[in-house]
Chains A and B, each alone.
Chain A
Amino acid sequence: MMVIPLALRGIIVVTGKNMRLYYTKPPVLMFGLLFPLFMFFAFFVGRHLDLVAFFPAFLAMMLFFTASSVGPLITPWEKRDKTYERLLSYPVTQDIIILGDVAAGAIFGIGISLCIWVVSTLFMPVAVMSPGLFVLAFVLGTISSSAMGVLIVSPGSDNPPNVMIFSNLIRFPLIFISGIFVPLSQMQGLGLTLAYWSPLTYLVDLFNAAMSGTSAFSPLVDCGVLAGVSAVFLLAARILQKRNLMKGM
């Protein structure tokens, strides 16, 4: 009878703790905020590209990077500082900790990406054709990206720099095969096949549908894929972290 309020309270407290402790850590600021901005400058500035046309893809990239940069840091940092065991001994379970980590990443992603969108509207006409899809893109995009960040750390490590390197090894290739720099309609062969396997492709496509009204897939497909991968990432993170705990700390 008491389990649901206790679990919810646990998620909220763990999320708050993560927000307070990890949002300002240098790896989060570097790999979550500065890197995607540098990528934007490197690819779009000075190349006479239509920034408005590429804006949905850029927003998807920002959201993906910010939301997936918090999760990989938390558990290794806690294990290294020996606070993880104490956290587990509080009235929380491993599932609550995972959900708190995902929520912290998602809130970070939403906050930063919303700021970028709001500021961008001051300088360029970035219209939103479908507000409902736009909100869905934010919600599903941040949850799936944040869940991916938590999954990346799940094989187990207490060394934050190593985990961040591993996380970038996965995240960087994804931005090149997901229709951000080359639109999906211009991709072919192996590139297109790889794009179908990247969850980021569907987020870029959903932002395109929400902001410009054009998309390669139906928004229903985009939403379904993002919800599906979120569930798979969470389940995989749960299984891996449970296995780690069975083996010890």
Chain B
Amino acid sequence: MNSIEATHLVKKFGPVTAVSEVSLTVREGEIFGFLGPNGAGKTTTMRMLTGVLTPDSGSVLIGGIDIHRHPLDAKMQMGVIPENSTVYGDLSAEQNLHLSGKMYGMPRGEREKRIDEILSHMGLFEKRHLPVRTFSKGMKQRVSIACAIIHRPRVLLLDEPTSGLDVQSRRLVIDTIREMNEAGSTIFLTTHNIEEANMLCQTVCIINKGKIVAKDSPERLRKMFDTTQSVEVSFDRAVTRDLFVADGILRAEPCGDKWRIYTDNPDRVLKYLVGLAGRESIGITSLATSGPSLEEAFVQLTECA
């Protein structure tokens, strides 16, 4: 059974078509990654999936219920973390969770038990009575996630949940997503972080300019671009980009103190680099090849669309 089923979604803002004929299905129990560059239509799609925005045409079914015809029943099955959306700063973490629990109709006793459990898990139990406005961004995001999962939703939709978080908060968010999934929730995750999508998702969908350009498993998406591999090299002194003009080199990008060279022929590039180092009397401090990455697939899909 599909937990989320969107069919031919279209949304226009004046003359601009933000989302055009987007159709997607998310299977029950799956972690589904929704990727795209800025302005691609990710948040607009997410808002239509969560019933916040009404599409100009198309439909969204959550657990088989049309969210725009029966919004209350459909939303009862969902937990949502909107992009940049905060919880109420004047309320404490505990009060925010009570509000959220009441919205989902949880009885007081069950609510209190779950709030204690969830605040402990999120590392916020000691600060549960403090107003959320005094919290750091990471702590606020933890409260936000706690509000979305308090009722153990069947479907959890998260819009950029780890954006701008410190390492500890990011790990906690990712662990929570995994735990919710293991407990049976279907996860729909929009993210800029390709590595995160690669690590978490069973299916990745890439949207660009309002249209779906690819949908597959991260591994299969990577293989679609297996003609593109990369060589990472670092030298004992600084070099300029003009040294990396040769047959087989598609492009070169500085990457910290290294250069990443994209190629369809790693053998030729390795020989060229070794020859270059000898000719110019430059020492090679590290040299490594790597296969096609999901990031490369993402770049190619969103550049050529």
- Asked if chains A and B come from one complex, the reply is yes
Q: Which residues of A contact B (CB under 8 A)?
A: 2-3, 6-7, 9-10, 13, 16-17, 20-21, 81-83, 85-86, 88-93, 245-249
Q: Which residues of chain B have C-beta atoms less than 8 A from A85's C-beta?
A: 47, 52, 82, 85
B175 at the interface (CB under 8 A from A): no
Q: Which residues of chain A have C-beta atoms less than 8 A from B54's C-beta?
A: 245-246
Q: Which of B80, B89, B99, B147 has the most CB of A within 10 A?
A: B99
Q: Least Cβ distance of A129 to chain B in Å?
A: 42
Q: Which residues of chain A have C-beta atoms less than 8 A from B82's C-beta?
A: 85-86, 89
Q: Least Cβ distance of B163 to chain A in Å?
A: 14
Q: B72–A89 contact, CB under 8 A?
A: no
* A13 nearest CB neighbor, chain B only: B102
Q: B13–A247 contact, CB under 8 A?
A: yes
B239 at the interface (CB under 8 A from A): no
Q: Which residues of chain A have C-beta atoms less than 8 A from B51's C-beta?
A: 88-89
B105 at the interface (CB under 8 A from A): yes
Q: A82–B86 contact, CB under 8 A?
A: yes
| A–B complex contacts, Cβ < 8 Å, 15 sampled | A6-B72, A9-B105, A10-B103, A21-B88, A81-B88, A85-B47, A86-B82, A86-B85, A86-B86, A88-B52, A92-B103, A93-B71, A245-B54, A248-B13, A249-B52
B185 at the interface (CB under 8 A from A): no
Q: Which of B13, B70, B75, B90 contacts A21 (CB 8 A)?
A: B90
Q: B88–A83 contact, CB under 8 A?
A: yes
Q: Which of A7, A20, A91, A248 contacts B76 (CB 8 A)?
A: A91
B194 at the interface (CB under 8 A from A): no
Contacts A6-B105, A83-B86, A247-B13; is A89 near B73 (CB within 8 Å)?
no
CA A121 – CA B54 in complex, angstroms? 52
Q: B72–A92 contact, CB under 8 A?
A: yes
Chain B interface bracket (under 10, 10 to 19, 20 to 34, 35 or more) = 20 to 34
Q: Least Cβ distance of B213 to chain A in Å?
A: 24
Q: Which residues of chain B have C-beta atoms less than 8 A from A10's C-beta?
A: 72, 103
CA A13 – CA B98 in complex, angstroms? 10
Q: Least Cβ distance of B13 to chain A in Å?
A: 6
Q: Which of B85, B90, B95 contacts A82 (CB 8 A)?
A: B85
Q: A91–B80 contact, CB under 8 A?
A: no
Contacts A2-B73, A6-B72; is A89 near B52 (CB within 8 Å)?
yes
Q: Which residues of chain A have C-beta atoms less than 8 A from B71's C-beta?
A: 91, 93
Q: How many A-B residue pairs have CB under 8 A?
A: 82
Contacts A2-B73, A7-B72; is A89 near B102 (CB within 8 Å)?
no
B230 at the interface (CB under 8 A from A): no
Q: Which residues of chain A have C-beta atoms less than 8 A from B89's C-beta?
A: 81
CA A93 – CA B76 in complex, angstroms? 12
Given contacts A10-B72, A81-B86, 14 further A-B contacts (CB under 8 A): A2-B73, A3-B73, A9-B102, A21-B90, A81-B88, A82-B86, A86-B86, A86-B87, A86-B144, A88-B50, A91-B75, A91-B105, A93-B72, A245-B54
Convert B91-102 into 0s and 1s, putting 1 for each residue whose CB lies closer than 8 angstroms to a CB of A: 100010001101
CA A6 – CA B52 in complex, angstroms? 17
CA A46 – CA B76 in complex, angstroms? 59
Q: A86–B13 contact, CB under 8 A?
A: no
Q: Which of A21, A81, A90, A245 contacts B53 (CB 8 A)?
A: A245
Q: A17–B52 contact, CB under 8 A?
A: no
Q: Least Cβ distance of B149 to chain A in Å?
A: 13
* B73 nearest CB neighbor, chain A only: A2
Convert B175-212 into 0s and 1s, putting 1 for each residue whose CB lies closer than 8 angstroms to a CB of A: 00000000000000000000000000000000000000
Q: Which of A9, A10, A16, A248 has the most CB of B within 10 A?
A: A248
Q: Which of B50, B71, B89 has the most CB of A within 10 A?
A: B71
CA A90 – CA B101 in complex, angstroms? 10
CA A249 – CA B90 in complex, angstroms? 22
Query: Which residues of chain B from 90 to 144 have a CB within 8 Å of any chain A CB?
Result: 90-91, 95, 99-100, 102-105, 144
Q: Which 5 A-B pairs have the closest CB atoms?
A: A89-B80, A91-B75, A90-B103, A85-B82, A6-B72
